Structure 1
Amino acid sequence: MKRRKPNLDELLKRLDYRFEKPELLDEALTHVSAPQAAGQSYQRLEFLGDRVLGLSIAELLYSTFPGAPEGELSRRLAELVRRESCAEVAIAWDVGPHLKLGAGEAHSGERRNQTILADVCEAIIGAVFLDGGYEAARSLVERSFRTLLAAPRRPLRDPKSALQEWAQGRGLPPPTYTIAEQSGPDHAPKFRIMVTVKGTEGEFGQGASKRVAEQAAARSLLLREGVWTEEEHGTA
């Protein structure tokens, strides 16, 4: 059975953008393996879109998190521009059916390949930039990455690192960790560790290793002090 040609208008509706030069979107959807590529695959647009995405995300982070230090902004930026995040956006756009692939790639399921989807996401951003300018591309990024911007899929940093940064930001010495209790057999120990930061009460954490218990203790202190929230980081 011949595969039904996808309606490009549906993709444009999801992008919420209309191209003055539709050939740019066509190029952004064309894999190098496609017979019609003839040297006009999405690779150049991907190169451009990667830079536009980085600038757009950096600007959005700067305005969205006015109190965040440079280190946190950098971590958020790295999380948002990573391949998995771009692929997630491409999936939300449902670009897979619109990709122009070689026969072999199409039959081997490359429409769901995360690397290709991430590349096409960046290529589309690059195409919008060339077609409508930076503001149009930035608006597309803001609409499409809004959910990931508000709720990263991975913790931006581990509790111990976050607690140390918090202490340093307040001009305090690094947190100290002490073993309050150790129990269980050698092959299955249990640790209860207390973390203290100068000027605050200590908090405890438990785990099957010192590292896990220390992370749990640090998380508890961050939650108690209101640095982290349970909605974002849980109680673990």
Structure 2
Amino acid sequence: MTDMSSSLGQYSDLYKVLGFVFNDVDLLREALTHPSLEGGKQYQRLEFVGDRVLGLVIAEWLFEQYPDADEGGLASRHTNMVRKETLAEVAGVMKLSGFIHMAKSTEDNGGRTKPTILADACEAVIGAVNQDGGYDAARTLVRKFWKRYILQETIGKRDAKTRLQEWVQARQIPTPNYVVVERTGPAHEPFFTIEARVKGMDPAEGKGRSKREAEQDAAAKLLTRLESQGLTSKRTQVRR
């Protein structure tokens, strides 16, 4: 086990973001060690634990939050909240990228910004918190960072692309196009502006910390416009 004073200095900024201080900092270091580094423990085992803990916390939370939802509705929301894209977004909020230990070759190939690596590290950190502080600590961590996803309106926004796709298909309109019009911010923390374009309609602009988030935002805004114009009825058509 590593000396507490030295660990506080190394990870103090991360502790502040997480709202949790590790008793055994070796668990955190393991959770932040990519498999490209040989000769020590990597994050796969803690990722395994974190995946299961996250799934259970979200399942319990959805059960509490949506008492009238059936199994299918709960499952759909659960899938959205534990998918790799969501985990990568949360890793960005946690600012894990700068703390991940990886081989130079992996880093040179954009490892610090790869969604899969960020998602895996996020799960591993959840697993490490569970092993160090117990399930209650892990649940507190998950609820802190997943609060925005539990809200009904946020879940709806995350399904906006699917709903827009169904809308155009019902009218035999070509599939929506999503075009990046601007990318700002540093490489490890980008911010995207994306247009959702549907034939015969003015585009709608969305923003987000990932392409997926910005696309969902753009689709949601386009759907809101359609609703305000009374075009969401199955009978309504747009010019082609």
Cα 1:211–1:60 shift into 2, 3 Å: farther
CA positional deviation for 1:64: 1.2
Unmatched runs of 5 consecutive residues or more in structure 2? 1-8, 174-219, 227-240
Partner deviation per Cα, 1:3-52 (whole Å, 9 max, x = no partner): xxx95111111000011111100000001112xx4241001100111000
- Tell me the equivalent position of 2:33: 30
- Between the two proteins, what is the percent identity of the paired residues? 40
- Tell me the equivalent position of 1:110: 111
Cα 1:117–1:88 shift into 2, 3 Å: same
| Structure in which a larger fraction of residues adopt helix | 2
Cα 1:154–1:103 shift into 2, 3 Å: same
Aligned pair partner of 1:154 in 138, 151, 158? 158
Check if 1:210 corresponds to 2:210: no
**8 Å CA contact retained: 1:32, 1:39:** no
Distance 2:16 2:172 in 1: 48
Letter in 2 for 1:68: A
**8 Å CA contact retained: 1:79, 1:156:** no
Distance 1:39 1:149 in 2: 37
Partner deviation per Cα, 1:91-142 (whole Å, 9 max, x = no partner): 0011111110101112222011100000000000000111111111011000
Partner deviation per Cα, 1:165-207 (whole Å, 9 max, x = no partner): xxxxxxxxxxxxxxxxxxxxxxxxxxxxxxxxxxxxxxxx8x6
Cα 1:156–1:208 shift into 2, 3 Å: closer
Aligned counterparts, 1:86-165, within 5 A: 86-150=87-151, 151-152=154-155, 153-155=157-159
Distance 2:71 2:93 in 1: 30
Distance 2:145 2:109 in 1: 28
Larger Rg: 1
When normalised by structure 2's length, the TM-score is 0.63
Distance 2:40 2:75 in 1: 35
Distance 1:116 1:21 in 2: 23
Letter in 1 for 2:105: G
Distance 2:119 2:49 in 1: 13
Equivalenced residues, count: 170
Distance 2:80 2:52 in 1: 15
Q: Which runs of 4+ in 1 moved over 6 A?
A: none
Distance 1:27 1:43 in 2: 9
Partner deviation per Cα, 1:51-100 (whole Å, 9 max, x = no partner): 00000000111111122111111000000000000000000011111110
Check if 1:17 corresponds to 2:17: no
